[in-house]
Structure 1
């Protein structure tokens, strides 16, 4: 009976697998086009770069007919942007950049990526442009803002030459692309099509695939005609680790983790043996520097932040009270925080609210918590041998110079400093020498 039940269960399982396979086969006929769909949302950073490069490579290995990158970005790092552009230019599979969803944008580094695409499309209510170098961060250069016109011109001209070459390669409007860099021009979707900045407007992904079907694009290997009408779309999301790191790659998170890490280490040093604050501090600092390593930080500003923390510690430990060290520490902390990521691009700057919260918390932490720990260390001991120092007692025997005294409810062997003391005289404990109390006559 049991064997029969097992056989029936096995046949049912085989039947289910066959039905699933048949359904899959019906939905994707042999030779039907397939498109790999990636989503690049937020700041263009090393995580996004690695993700897109991996997706383009997967499209080639998997035999896909095209790659669609749904793009919505305020900008990002020059190095990451150039890596993405290079992977698109070298791709053996057509890459379609689709500014999506409605309300999205391809700003700054996003304009360069769209210009490099074999096909560039936009959803309704999207915009593209604003690629002028802005120092560090979301500009196409990612360099520090230059203090002189010559260096500014150098950075700007480099970006202009790059975007003009990309536009010319894809037969797009190189003159407007240059204005998008020099003048930070930004246009909505339909105007972008009219100006030949992008190729078309599509309401959604199926509409996009139907519109680009039959277009000829130029790959490294030659001209290819797109087969995308009715194509099966395969989502290719970031893996769990990439999603986590991309979510953490936020200047505000890095800034707060840096603060928590410093707090933890300082508290561990002020109160040895607590263990947890020290461990938490090290973990927070490692995460903070890992995130900052993906961002174009100003190291002089980071030094100012750390110097500010050092001044606040000195204010509490060396010169108690709100004074010049405390004010200097807070000022250094604020200035360093403002300059840490001095960019006007959303997503690549520290929020003023985060700076204010950290500054206020730092003042409270150092002026209350750390000072309390310090005062606890300075408080006179109330138990043990050190507590006997300064206590008044009575000589139970003559001290000439040694004898016995009664101090703090206990009988102690004592040695007098100075003239001998008679039994019954009052003495004061000066210090403890091993098991002997050193006293003086009162």
Structure 2
């Protein structure tokens, strides 16, 4: 057979092109799809919300082609479930859910947001009526909103929106639930298009998806998340409260030492930051805490006596610490279980009682410490040395003199060439500043700074 030069040229070019593309074909055949698996087996709350947010971000960074959510929950907070739903609906890669026993209430909403639903034998999905803290159905506005998002979510993924609504409201006509909120078993969910397959475990789900040979990564919370979870423990929160209250008290009793204040600040940081990161502590709750501390400090250093500011500061501080532990939205406690409220209140009260016990046990040692020598008068003073007791100083009220020592707020003042123990009304007075006597007690004078 005769071969033309042009034909030989094209044959050579074709062979060369095949050789160049061969590595690409080989690479395509050896590259495995990546599956990212996360587990949610807890109540749906701000912590779960943050967990899924971090997990989806990590799945994106890992270049996952598919995400599988292993779910077993009886529900939880509607707002957090809605945010998770939005996250799933807008995720650029396919998201599947494997219901391992339960997907009730908020769990049902999250499940129908996924591209495909797989269930283990004996599992169930539904019962999505919004309930309050007492377990009773929430007001109609909440049910209406839940029906709306259940219907829209089911419709977005090609599922029967009518059945999704029936999971919320018993009055919605359903062929399965005569006057009852709809809950589907695994078999029923398969029949009515709310389950795409039945599997016993994650490996079974991957086989149904033809991903049995995929590269699988299981999400594990990082060190930071483990630390946050540790500090969210009610017992640990109580210890931190003890350090906060005790540290502030000791610092107020011995100004200038610094260590108690530093300990209180560190404990406050460890207390506030985990609650803030998980969404439990809102900005207004933290502001409430700060305002409470400011009022307490004003009462101690500026305002004479103990009155409205001090009591208000204590109430605001305690209230903010309790509120930070509760999953409330804008002071709405409709969905906060009473046991959670009691648990938070007990943690705060026990923390403060513990701080009180610590203060009582440490008081004698504190008073006798060298640090207290700077602010507490322990020396004995005699009249022949020019000192006078304040109980013989009624006539000094209204007289002026100067601070013989730094007053923080206690110290010594010189009046008519005589030294007296005194307490500053306005907190701190520098040594040498002019003062005026405004009152007296058995043990000291009460003075104010003269401008």
User: Which range, TM-score by smaller chain?
Assistant: 0.5 to 0.7
Change (3 A) 1:287 1:272: same
2:199 to 193, 202, 211: 202
CA distance in 2, matches of 1:384, 1:168: 74
The answer to whether the 8 A contact 1:179-1:185 is kept is yes
The match for 2:271 is 288
Contact 2:230 2:236 in 1 (8 A): no
The 3 A distance-change label for structure 1 pair 349 and 174 is farther
Residue pairs, 1:246-285, within 5 angstroms? 248=231, 257=240, 260-285=243-268
Give the deviation of 1:72 after TM superposition: 3.5
Written as runs of structure 1 = structure 2, the 5 A alignment for 1:27-42 is: 30-42=30-42
2:94 aligned partner: 94
Match of 2:380 in 1: 388
Among 159, 170, 187, the residue aligned to 1:172: 159
Cα drift, residue 115 of structure 1: 0.6
Q: Retained in 2: the 8 A contact 1:309–1:329?
A: no
| Counterparts of residues 31-430 of structure 1 (less than 5 Å) | 31-42=31-42, 43-45=44-46, 46-58=49-61, 61-62=63-64, 64=65, 66-75=66-75, 80-100=80-100, 105-124=102-121, 126-134=123-131, 152-182=139-169, 189-194=186-191, 196-211=193-208, 213=209, 227-245=210-228, 248=231, 257=240, 260-293=243-276, 294-296=278-280, 303=288, 333=318, 337=322, 341=326, 350=340, 352-353=342-343, 355-363=345-353, 365-366=355-356, 369=359, 373=363, 387-389=379-381, 391=382, 405=384, 412=385
Distance 2:188 2:258 in 1: 61
SS in 2 for 1:238: coil
Judged with a 3 Å threshold, the aligned counterparts in structure 2 of structure 1 residues 229 and 288 are, in CA distance, closer, same or farther, namely: same
**Helix, strand or coil at the partner of 2:255:** coil
2: distance between equivalents of 1:243 and 1:117? 27
Distance in 2 (alpha carbons) for counterparts of 1:384 and 1:310: 25
Gaps of 5+ in 1: 1-27, 140-144, 214-226, 393-404, 406-411, 418-430
> Does the CA-based 8 Å contact 2:35-2:217 persist in structure 1?
yes
Contact in 1 for aligned 2:84/2:110 (Cα 8 Å): yes
Contact 1:126/1:188 (CA < 8 Å) preserved in 2? yes
**How big is the shift at 1:116?**
0.8
Q: Structure 1 residues 88, 335: CA separation in 2 closer, same or farther (over 3 Å shift)? A: closer
Q: Provide closer, same or farther for how the CA distance between residues 329 and 181 of structure 1 changes in structure 2, counting only shifts above 3 A.
A: farther
- The separation in 2 between residues aligned to 1:97 and 1:91, in whole angstroms, is 14
The structural deviation recorded for 1:68 is: 1.1
Contact 1:111 1:131 in 2 (8 A): yes
Distance 1:269 1:153, change over 3 A: same
1:47–1:242 Cα contact (<8 Å) kept: no
Check conservation: 1:252, 1:349, Cα contact below 8 A. no
Flag the 1:275–1:93 CA change in 2: closer, same or farther, 3 A: same
Please give the residue correspondences for 1:10-25 in structure 2 after superposition, counting only pairs within 5 Å.
none
Shift of 1:164: 0.8
The aligned residue for residue 221 of structure 1 is none
| Structure 2 counterpart SS, 1:181 | coil
The whole-number CA distance in structure 1 between the counterparts of 2:293 and 2:413 is 42
Change (3 A) 1:362 1:84: closer
Kept in 1, the 8 Å contact 2:288–2:317? The answer is no
Q: How many residues align?
A: 339
8 Å contact from structure 2 (residues 250, 260) kept in 1: yes
The answer to whether the 8 A contact 1:255-1:350 is kept is: no
Q: How far has the Cα of 1:69 moved from its partner?
A: 1.6
Distance 1:385 1:253, change over 3 A: closer
> Residues 185 and 242 from structure 1, CA distance in 2 versus in 1: closer, same or farther, beyond 3 angstroms?
farther
Residues in 2 aligned to 1:359 and 1:53: alpha-carbon distance in whole angstroms: 38
Mapped to 2, the partners of 1:374 and 1:314 lie a distance apart of 24
Displacement of 1:174: 2.7
d(CA) in 2 for partners of 1:254 and 1:125?
A: 39
RMSD: 5.4
Q: Which residue of structure 1 aligns with residue 403 of structure 2?
A: none
